[in-house]
Amino acid sequence: MDILDTIKQQIEENDIILYMKGSPNAPQCGFSSRTSQAVMACGQRFAYVDVLSNPDIRTHLPKYANWPTFPQLWVKGELVGGCDIVAELHETGELKQMIDAASPAAE
């Protein structure tokens, strides 16, 4: 399986997935920290991929997503965006609605 297939599979198999630098409990950059805090504040389980320990994903995901930077939040197969977009959605309450609706517990 090539790396693009792996990325596609990760996005398809996880309703909520965050590609970030580090982990939610140990983020390795400020943008990843702010984004993971916003997602965690929504109170639902989500998957994450540390792009620092997955250099192939770090290299190829920006091309796959047509989004150049990390973090990247994907919900139900759609790219939501990076730190600024996620933070704005969190402030308005839209992020929680989006994540609650996508959570397997909501089905």
State the pLDDT at residue 106: 56
The answer to the question of whether 46 is labelled as a binding residue is no
Distances (CA, A) of 80 to 1, 2, 17, 18, 26: 26, 24, 10, 10, 22
Task: List the beta strands (DSSP E) in 1-107.
Answer: 16-20, 22-23, 26-27, 47-50, 72-75, 78-81
- Of 101, 91, 107, nearest to 16 by C-alpha is 101
State the pLDDT at residue 25: 95
The answer to the question of whether 70 is labelled as a binding residue is yes
Residue located via tokens 């297939």: 5
Instruction: Report whether CATH 1.10.3720.10 matches the domain 3-106.
Output: no
State the pLDDT at residue 39: 98
Cis before 68 (ω within 30): no
The answer to the question of whether 15 is labelled as a binding residue is no
The answer to the question of whether 96 is labelled as a binding residue is no
State the pLDDT at residue 1: 76
State the pLDDT at residue 101: 96
Q: What are the average pLDDT values for consecutive 10-residue runs of the chain, which has 107 residues? A: 94 98 97 98 97 97 95 98 98 97 74
